[in-house]
Amino acid sequence: MTALVLEQATARLGKLTVLEAVSLTVRRGELVALVGPNGAGKSSVIRALAGLLPLGAGTASTMGQPVKALSPRARAERVAYLPQERRVAWNMPAVEVAALGAPFLSATKALARAHEALNAVEADHLADRGVAEMSGGERARVLLARALVAQSDALLVDEPIAGLDPDAQLMVLDLLRTRAEAGQAVLVSLHDLGLAARYAARVIVMHQGKAVADDAPTQALTPRILSEVFGLTARWIDGPDGPLLSQSRYSEGSPAGVYCSPEPT
């Protein structure tokens, strides 16, 4: 079943158009990666689907109903959201922060579910520690646990592996893939194109507020897209665990490139 849908979604922040006629879907049981340069619209897609970014045109739907028509409770039960921002206002114990992901359960059930989620992100040993006393990576695990506690139909996670060490990055993506295999619809924004290709069933490429590709990883991240959108010279090679991206920063003639080597003299 299709759990998340954007149809011709357009949104503005002030005078800036952050989404322009974006259409995409995520089905239950599917992990889809959103990729693109900084400012391409990845977070705006996620916020629109969470009902946090009003649309000027088009629609955002979850489980067949427009997001804007849902009550806050119904929206929270259908969609769990992990933002990029990892700041927590109060120095609460990790288990209590994680339990906030299930506000409609009794305290006992919410705390039990919070311990399960902390264990899933390999952070149950942090349960009684205040989140203000943690490293950024530890806090990121706790906030991911809060999103997992909701056990919603869909999971929207915005750059969940940013700042994590390599082992933790793989742990988080393994966990998100497991959630998808169990029936959740998972939409995750990533900057690591190789990990996106390794874990996602589909990759959606955002560029200047538009979805310019939506396909299987190696079909979405073609040499042309990698050049035009990311300013890379790159090609896919077969690796033991799936496709690997061989890439170079310089892409001659690419308007997206941050640098082009000078003409030889």
Please report, rounded to a whole number, the percentage of residues in the chain having pLDDT higher than 70.
94
List all residues 6 or more positions away from 14 whose beta carbon is below 8 Å from its beta carbon. none
Helix (H) or strand (E) holding 139: helix 136-149
Q: What is the third-level CATH fold of 2-217?
A: Rossmann fold (3.40.50)
Each residue of 90-141: pLDDT tens digit?
A: 899 999 999 999 999 999 999 999 999 999 999 999 999 999 999 999 999 9
End-to-end CA distance of the chain: 59
Structure tokens at 212: 């310019």
CA distance 19 to 12: 7
Nearest to 123 by CA among 82, 156, 102, 93: 93
Give SS3 for 106. coil
Tell me if 153 sits within 8 A of 3, measured CB to CB: yes
Beta-bridged to residue 205, according to DSSP, are 35, 213
pLDDT at 265 over 80: no
> Any idea where the domains of the chain sit in the sequence?
2-217, 222-265
Across the chain, what does the average pLDDT equal? Answer: 91
CA distance 20 to 209: 5
CA R_g for the chain? 19
pLDDT at 172 over 50: yes
Tell me if 206 sits within 8 A of 41, measured CB to CB: yes
Structure tokens at 68: 């804007």
Q: What is the mean pLDDT of residues 135-155?
A: 94
pLDDT at 144 over 60: yes
Nearest to 202 by CA among 191, 184, 186: 186
Nearest to 94 by CA among 137, 150, 146: 146
Each residue of 48-95: pLDDT tens digit?
A: 999 999 999 999 999 999 999 999 889 988 999 999 888 888 899 999
Each residue of 204-229: pLDDT tens digit?
A: 999 999 999 999 999 999 999 999 99
